[in-house]
Amino acid sequence: MLRNASDSWGAPAKLFHWVMAALILAQIALGLMAANWRLSPTKIELFFWHKSTGMLILALVALRLLWRLANPTPLLPPGMAAWERAAARLSHLLLYALMIALPVTGWIVNSASNVPFRIFWLIPLPAIVAPDEPTADLVAWVHGGLAALLALVLVAHIGAALRHHFVKRDTVLERMLPGAWRAP
């Protein structure tokens, strides 16, 4: 039940999926609010939670990738067209890439803007680039672009999961749901 099988996800994989899904949705909302809020203590609070959550996501995605590599990945259902398989692979690859690239670009922005920051008030975040305002502005713009791309891929991901369930009537969505569901 812990490890993945060729037709099912183990509990850790499901936990990673749903915890990170919730964090990522919260993160997009926090990021949008933080960026657009007028300068005030609330804006600083929003950024604080956005940055802390981002670093948490980066740590989780590292563990999640290790877990994924150490486990079999459940197979896609038979009968999918080649383009569907390619789209599934590409979107999953993009999701992982963005789960890394978004926190890393955010980290660069924080370093370049030279704002002191401790993750959840606890862990000081070391700078990964030297303070430089043009770098901060440029990478903030890239960060926003990547977030927009993530939103698009998420729409495709959720749409595809619903299509698997309601149109193709296979088990792709169900087997990611929490609980003891197993392929019959």
Give residues in contact with other proteins (CB under 8 A). 39-41, 44-45, 48, 113-118, 121, 124, 131, 133
CB of 54 to other proteins, least distance (A): 15
Which DSSP category does 122 fall into? T
Sequence-distant (6+) residues with CB within 8 A of 164 are 77, 170, 172, 173
> Are 58 and 101 spatial neighbours (Cβ–Cβ below 8 Å)?
no
Residue nearer to other proteins on the CB measure, 73 or 114:
114
CB of 134 to other proteins, least distance (A): 10
CB of 127 to other proteins, least distance (A): 12
∠ CA 63-68-73 to the nearest 5 degrees? 165
Residue nearer to other proteins on the CB measure, 7 or 137:
137
CB of 39 to other proteins, least distance (A): 7
Residue nearer to other proteins on the CB measure, 13 or 140:
140
Alpha helices in the chain (DSSP H): 11-36, 41-69, 82-113, 133-166
Instruction: Give the residue from 37, 27, 35 showing the smallest Cα distance to 150.
Output: 27
Residue nearer to other proteins on the CB measure, 7 or 133:
133
